[in-house]
């Protein structure tokens, strides 16, 4: 990977001046992804409807410097698949120069885990030479903070409000990264905005892979999570160190841990920092619920270590 000095000198493909919230991780994710690309190779970007789209493409302005297509909530993967197919066809017909070009799609967890899963699964199964980046903020943040299948169990959202009936979302979150790995595509990875070197290495690997690649990136939302904007990177880092969001890759079916915390921290301590979980601690801690949540994180971490051939 290029050095930090070299990366800093590369031209921006994604500019400032967008209208994302202060502390939003999504624009940081995009800048890190775009910076990892070879500056000499053009890229076509598809973007599902969501926070990233509405804050970066307010007509007549745009924060995107390259070719950009806004897709509906559910079909960013299908859109970029069509562009990639058209590119190969036109090149084969001799209608465009035979030069390298990259194709990437961005979608939030609502447009990826849920509404766009069929489109994404189809694109992966067909084997298109594309990269799909999910910026996972654990909810439908753009439309009012409704729960998604990426929302952790116990989180209070507008459609899983904590109260007398339910203590937040009743279900555990979906493991989309493992679902993508089950498609047997060449490259799948899980990354976090807090570990930029790890993320950018995975992006480089994804774009240098022939065939479909998928990267799931933890992208804290200060409104959804109820955290101060200046704590975005730190809260993401704690998610990684608590093993709620482990960093790993699956390359040609081989699972590999890319970061292992020196000391695994408490998932419960991570929950305490977010207002979406405050009902689990006030007026007193809900010990049975908290123990169940910690046990689920521990179970998934143990399973991941087994898949990666690592010892506990």
The pLDDT of residue 277 is: 98
Do the domain assignments include residue 116?
yes
Model pLDDT for residues 183-208, shown as the tens digit of each residue: 999 999 999 999 999 999 999 999 99
Do the domain assignments include residue 200?
yes
Q: Mean pLDDT throughout 118-139?
A: 98
Whose tokens are 């994604």? That residue is 14
Model pLDDT for residues 221-231, shown as the tens digit of each residue: 999 999 999 99
The pLDDT of residue 312 is: 81
The CATH number for 301's domain is 3.40.50.970
Model pLDDT for residues 131-180, shown as the tens digit of each residue: 999 999 999 999 999 999 999 999 999 999 999 999 999 999 999 999 99
Cα separation, 194 vs 200, in Å, equals: 11
Cα separation, 162 vs 94, in Å, equals: 59
The sheet with strand 187-192 has its strands ordered as 67-70, 43-47, 102-108, 131-136, 213-218, 187-192, 248-251, 254-257
Residues 6+ apart with CB under 8 A from 168: 153, 154, 155, 156, 157, 160, 161, 162, 276, 277, 279, 280
CA neighbor of 286 nearest in space, from 167, 139, 115: 167
172 burial type by CB count under 10 A (0-12 exposed, 13-18 middle, 19+ buried): middle
Joined tokens for residue 57: 């493409």
Band of pLDDT at residue 122, cut at 50, 70 and 90: very high
Residues 6+ apart with CB under 8 A from 2: 10
- CB of 312 within 8 A of CB of 302? yes
CA neighbor of 112 nearest in space, from 154, 164, 76, 82: 76
Band of pLDDT at residue 20, cut at 50, 70 and 90: very high
The number of distinct structural domains making up the chain is 1
Model pLDDT for residues 28-40, shown as the tens digit of each residue: 999 999 999 999 9
Q: Mean pLDDT throughout 109-115?
A: 97
CA neighbor of 238 nearest in space, from 212, 214, 216, 220: 220
Band of pLDDT at residue 4, cut at 50, 70 and 90: confident
> CA torsion 33→118→177→24, rounded to 10°?
40
Model pLDDT for residues 207-258, shown as the tens digit of each residue: 999 999 999 999 999 999 999 999 999 999 999 999 999 999 999 999 999 9
Cα separation, 130 vs 102, in Å, equals: 7
The pLDDT of residue 2 is: 77
Q: Mean pLDDT throughout 82-94?
A: 97
Q: What percentage of the chain has pLDDT greater than the value 90? A: 95
Mean pLDDT of the chain: 96
Q: How many helices (H) and strands (E) does the chain have?
A: 12, 8
Residue 288 structural domain: 4-307
The pLDDT of residue 7 is: 80
Do the domain assignments include residue 312?
no
- pLDDT of 126 > 80? The answer is yes
């Amino acid at each position: 990977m290029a050095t930090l000095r070299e990366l800093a000198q590369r031209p921006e493909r994604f500019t400032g001046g967008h209208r994302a919230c202060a502390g939003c991780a999504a624009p940081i994710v995009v800048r890190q992804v775009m910076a990892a690309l070879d500056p000499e190779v053009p890229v076509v970007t598809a973007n599902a409807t969501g926070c990233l789209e509405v804050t970066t493409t307010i007509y007549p302005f745009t924060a995107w410097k390259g070719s950009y297509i806004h897709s509906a909530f559910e079909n960013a993967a299908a859109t970029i698949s069509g562009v990639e197919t058209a590119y190969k066809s036109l090149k084969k017909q001799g209608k465009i120069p035979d030069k390298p070009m990259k194709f990437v799609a961005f979608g939030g967890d609502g447009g990826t885990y849920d509404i766009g899963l069929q489109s994404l699964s189809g694109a992966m199964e067909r084997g298109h030479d594309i990269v799909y980046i999910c910026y996972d903020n654990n909810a439908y943040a753009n439309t009012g903070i409704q729960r998604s299948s990426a929302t952790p169990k116990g989180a209070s959202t507008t459609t899983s409000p904590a109260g007398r009936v339910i203590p937040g979302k009743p279900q555990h979150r979906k493991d989309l990264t493992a679902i993508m790995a089950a498609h047997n595509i060449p490259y799948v990875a899980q990354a976090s905005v807090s570990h930029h070197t790890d993320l950018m290495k995975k992006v480089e690997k994804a774009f240098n892979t022939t065939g479909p690649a998928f990267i799931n990136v933890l992208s804290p939302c200060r409104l959804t999570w109820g955290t101060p904007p200046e704590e975005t990177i730190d809260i993401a880092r704690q998610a990684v160190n608590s093993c709620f969001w482990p960093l790993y890759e699956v390359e040609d079916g081989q699972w590999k841990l890319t970061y292992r915390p020196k000391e695994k921290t408490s998932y419960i301590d991570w929950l305490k920092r977010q207002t979406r979980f405050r009902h689990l601690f006030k007026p007193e801690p809900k010990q049975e619920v908290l123990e169940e949540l910690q046990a689920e994180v521990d179970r998934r971490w143990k399973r991941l270590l087994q898949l990666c051939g690592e010892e506990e």
